[in-house]
Amino acid sequence: MKLLTANFLSCAVKACKSSPLSFPLHFRDAELASKSVPYNPLLLSNLLPRLDWPALVTSSKELGFTLPDTKPELPRLSASSSSATTADGDMNMDGTVGEENEKTLRMLHKTVGNFLLPSHLV
């Protein structure tokens, strides 16, 4: 799973949807692999307003690297291309993601997150 994707995922378990803990999902025992992607300023300027930056910072800490605490402005982002590519995030992770109250842990298998729910949680 890419870091970017995680920033848009929320827990789909019915009982959790309204809980503030349903976002962000947390990484555990995740193994990080990074792959560079072409820098795409247009995509970033489109996405940046929609990113939940505090959640992105949390995710990055769980994965063992740091991002600035405040959302960078785009001009600066383009200057510091390292945080830019991080946000564009071709991070592939194995491990688990789950939410805070740990009702469900989602296995990440070869980077694919499992979001199938047992029927009583739908």
Contacts with other proteins, residue ranges (CB under 8 A): 1-2, 4-5, 8-12, 23, 40, 42-43, 46-47, 50, 52, 110-117, 119, 122
Angstrom distance (rounded) from CA 80 to CA 90: 17
Rounded least distance, CB 98 to other proteins, Å = 12
Rounded least distance, CB 23 to other proteins, Å = 6
Across-strand partners of 95? 108
Angstrom distance (rounded) from CA 90 to CA 76: 20
Angstrom distance (rounded) from CA 3 to CA 90: 7
Contacts of 67 (CB under 8 A, 6+ apart): 53, 56, 57, 60, 83, 86, 87
Rounded least distance, CB 47 to other proteins, Å = 6
Rounded least distance, CB 99 to other proteins, Å = 11
- Using DSSP bridges, classify how beta strands 91-98 and 105-109 pair: parallel, antiparallel or unpaired: antiparallel
Nearer to other proteins, 1 or 84 (CB): 1
